A and B are shown apart, each in its own frame.
Chain A
């Protein structure tokens, strides 16, 4: 399968613990995105990488959130000192800016439940 893959698919953690999610984008894609989705809502943009450079972070992203893409391939999203409000689906997506437009392909998401 050459789609976007995310790991783990589900994570249950206690409040205050740190969690890390991994995303492997489609191999030739230079852009990588993290979104968050809660039930009944569309995805909310969190952050965006072009190659290894993190070009934008949403104001939604508190200091407890950090994302990296060290070699311009896979990415990690870490949440420190988790809170119950962090419970959501964390979506990774990738795209390749070639030609017109910019079609974004999503992974299956990582469900986080903070108890």
Chain B
């Protein structure tokens, strides 16, 4: 069965620190990979996605993620975080079903001003 693991449930950083949130999935076939963000009191928003091509994808608000097929990973990065990045971040995968997203449990990111 497909699954997604986000290893850090809570991350606390200071402004301007660099960020890397881990995401690993288990699935042997072709996958589509997503990062969604949920700001406090708001709905899930797509941050970035990978379908094919360049494994380094850039999303909104300065975020990027790198797909490493050999490691089944799709880690999210940002070189310098801001207080407004405080949110919950979800990694999600869809594979052979091509419609059902399998979600990680989420990582709560708190940025100290």
Contact = CB atoms under 8 A, between A and B. Distances in A.
Chain A interface residue number, banded: 20 to 34
A44 B105 CA distance: 10
Given A108-B43, A109-B43, A33 B51 contact: no
Nearest to A105: B46
Interface in B25-57: 32, 34, 36, 42-46, 49, 51-52
B44 A43 contact: yes
A91 B44 contact: yes
Interface residues of B, number: 24
Contacts of B94: 102
A25 B66 CA distance: 30
A22 interface: no
Interface of A: 31, 33, 40-45, 48, 56, 91, 95, 97, 100-109
Interface of B: 4, 9, 32, 34, 36, 42-46, 49, 51-52, 90, 92, 94, 98-101, 103-106
